[in-house]
Chain A
Amino acid sequence: MRLDDYVEGLKPDEEYERRKLAAEKSYAITDYLDDARASFEAVKQGDSLYGATAPSVFVGRSSYPNVSAGILSPVAEESEADPDDYATSGAWYERGLGIDNVLQYRTGLLNSRRSADVNVEDVWDGFVGTQREVAIADRPVDVEIGLASTPDFDPDQYAQPTANAPSGPNASVDSADLTENPHVPRAVEKTLEDDDWRAQGAMVYLYEHGLDVYDVNRVLSVGALGQGENRRLVPTRWSITAVDDTVGQYLRGQIRDAPSVDGVEVRLNEYMGNRYWVVLAPGHWEFELVEMKSPGSVWNPDPGGDVWMAAASEGYEGRSGYVEETAGAYYAARLGVLEHLAERGRQAKALVLREVSDDYWAPVGVWQVRESVRHAFEREAADAETLHGAVRDLAEHLPVSLGDLRRKSTMVAGLQTGLSDWA
């Protein structure tokens, strides 16, 4: 399909309307707190011992290396929902969850936590041991949690729900004990037992053995991977990026000598007020994520302000520094692109343009970027003669001018050629 036919349905007027739509919405995340508060009243009033089915874990990052280690469990008293549904995964995209659904899950998840030293080599008993069992299991685990305080929301987090994905209530715990034998996948047992195996290699092994990055992330964050003396609790936010980056580097290595895609391919995907243009072009691997955050969207709250732009890129050999501007979204988007290319056995120059509209009124987490880019490749691609031709055609559908985009984007400014192109 030609690119102009592909984008024909996207009338500027509709886009404008779409951007306006959010004006009618309630921006108060606190609305969601009322439901959640009601559902954990029972927990507050009852016995300090509390039976829970925990699908996931959380490791905080403040005051590292003394972090808070937490077990996450749904607090709904008579929940009909499967506890597994509360754990962040690609299934959230497949089920078409909206921002409000995600906030309901997030605020309905109690984080039973206590402080822990990140150095967990050979720590098997106590709270950290129980947390590890929950993390390495492939289905929710029944635990009995002894609460030391009543659960409450961290009010600061909801006063300014900016960069962090909102989470549910917290409670301090005295103890946590398993009340069942968790089911642990064979591959995870193997990486857990081998304390001479570097974490990067173990992460890739788990990914290759069918664990998605969400599962690998849980295993990494509880310090269940790596060489013995290096086993640490890894704050959840860092471990998500570490897994996306590590698996991405592995996949990038796989396509290093692969033939290039034959032509320019443009794909579009939209989810939760985010629009992704994914452009592949022939040549050696090169990648860039450009983010355009509209005024009134979550990180750019002034409705009368300018579109806020961020970009980060890498060449054939990757990048050395951390991506200051785009943070974890960069590695999540890159993973989606690399999975597609590795599956096709091709390499490409890949440009991802992310437009965040003001419909995106609360941050749901970087999984949204990962899944949107992954699923973009299920879409039919439009053709274009050149990457720059495609970008010129797309520019009228973007909230910034081509000139501003060229200033911000390394790939739009120019694509890296190789010397053999000139021989």
Chain B
Amino acid sequence: MFKAIVSADTLRDTLDSVSVLVDECKIHLNDDGIEIRAVDPANVGMVDLTLSADAFESYEADGGLIGVDLSRLEDIAGMADAGQLVQLELDEETRKLHIQIEGLEYTLALIDPDSIRQEPDLPDLDLPAQVVVEGADIDRAVRAADMVSDHIALGVDAENERFYVDAEGDTDDVHLELEREDLIDLEAGDARSLFSLDYLKDMNKAFPKDAEVTLELGEEFPVKMHFDFAEGLGSVTFMLAPRIQSN
């Protein structure tokens, strides 16, 4: 059983963080909140999201699992004005999700969870460097890099306590450096990895521009990018596999 009321903003933030990577996903309806974990078809990018029951106006669930078409659900959530409430209720018999927004009723057909790509195991990574930056700084770096290249290097210079971003194009380069005082926090360790901008641009769309994002980096290793939403009651971790030179 699942019955919940949530603000349209929180619902949209939740869906947007997942839909940048996949078109459909499984949602775990746990008793203490919802959890979504999904990996893109190429197995390059992954998202791990939790939203606590406390982020909802009301929440009742007992551990069910549903599969949803994200763009459908986003369209429906888009019908609500900011601040409006969205009521969600699962009909166990018909396997449909009843959605109500101020008198508007929408019945959404669900997808068989078994038909959705299997959820990935979380790689257990020991990453030497951690950087906490404003989401807006990542946005600026990604947009600048996109002007010259289709890949971007993220690195930490441990000795000089710097976080840096490099993009090399055919003729033009982009370089951005943030010193310790420009950063919210830094755990310095040598790190540098190259990433596809296609993926990072998509993930960047989900980053809050006015809040902090934590990056964990290594040498030719995946990056973990973490941020909170819904006033700290929601949490998103993206993981992105690098493009590497060593094979």
Interface residues of A (CB under 8 A from B): 281-282, 284, 309, 313, 315-317, 386-388, 406-408, 410, 413-423
Contact of A419 among B44, B151, B246 (CB under 8 A): B44
Report the minimal beta-carbon distance from A129 to chain B, rounded to whole angstroms: 44
CB atoms of A386 and B246 under 8 A apart? yes
The listed residue with most A CB atoms (<10 A of its CB), out of B41, B198, B247, is B247
* Chain A neighbourhood of B43, CB < 8 A: 284, 418-420
CB atoms of B222 and A419 under 8 A apart? yes
CB atoms of A387 and B222 under 8 A apart? no
- B245: CB under 8 A from chain A? yes
**20 new A-B contacts at CB < 8 Å, known A315-B44, A316-B42:** A317-B42, A388-B245, A388-B247, A406-B168, A407-B169, A413-B151, A413-B243, A413-B245, A414-B194, A414-B244, A414-B245, A415-B245, A417-B242, A419-B39, A419-B239, A419-B241, A420-B43, A420-B120, A422-B125, A422-B221
Look across to chain B and name the residue whose beta carbon is closest to the beta carbon of A419. Answer: B241
* Chain A neighbourhood of B44, CB < 8 A: 315-316, 416-419
| Docked complex Cα distance between A281 and B170 (Å) | 24
- B30: CB under 8 A from chain A? no
CB atoms of B41 and A317 under 8 A apart? yes
Interface residues of B (CB under 8 A from A): 39, 41-46, 120-121, 123-125, 150-151, 168-171, 194, 196, 198, 221-222, 239, 241-247
**Known interface pairs A410-B151, A422-B125. Does A417 touch B244 (Cβ–Cβ under 8 Å)?**
yes
**Known interface pairs A418-B241, A419-B120. Does A413 touch B168 (Cβ–Cβ under 8 Å)?**
yes
* Chain B neighbourhood of A317, CB < 8 A: 41-42
* Chain B neighbourhood of A418, CB < 8 A: 42-44, 241
CB atoms of A315 and B241 under 8 A apart? no
CB atoms of B194 and A413 under 8 A apart? yes
Which secondary structure characterizes the binding site on chain A?
A: mixed
Identify the 3 closest CB pairs spanning chains A and B, nearest first: A414-B243, A316-B42, A418-B43
| Docked complex Cα distance between A40 and B170 (Å) | 48
| Docked complex Cα distance between A142 and B7 (Å) | 73
CB atoms of B222 and A422 under 8 A apart? yes
* Chain B neighbourhood of A386, CB < 8 A: 246-247
Look across to chain A and name the residue whose beta carbon is closest to the beta carbon of B243. Answer: A414
Look across to chain B and name the residue whose beta carbon is closest to the beta carbon of A410. Answer: B150
Look across to chain B and name the residue whose beta carbon is closest to the beta carbon of A417. Answer: B241
- Can you list 23 residue pairs at the A/B interface with Cβ under 8 Å? A281-B247, A315-B42, A315-B44, A315-B196, A316-B42, A410-B150, A410-B243, A413-B168, A414-B244, A415-B247, A417-B222, A417-B242, A418-B42, A418-B44, A418-B241, A419-B123, A420-B43, A421-B241, A422-B123, A422-B221, A423-B120, A423-B123, A423-B124
* Chain B neighbourhood of A422, CB < 8 A: 123, 125, 221-222, 241
* Chain B neighbourhood of A313, CB < 8 A: 150
Report the minimal beta-carbon distance from B117 to chain A, rounded to whole angstroms: 12
| Docked complex Cα distance between A420 and B40 (Å) | 12
* Chain A neighbourhood of B45, CB < 8 A: 419
**Known interface pairs A418-B43, A419-B120. Does A408 touch B244 (Cβ–Cβ under 8 Å)?**
no
| Docked complex Cα distance between A313 and B242 (Å) | 17
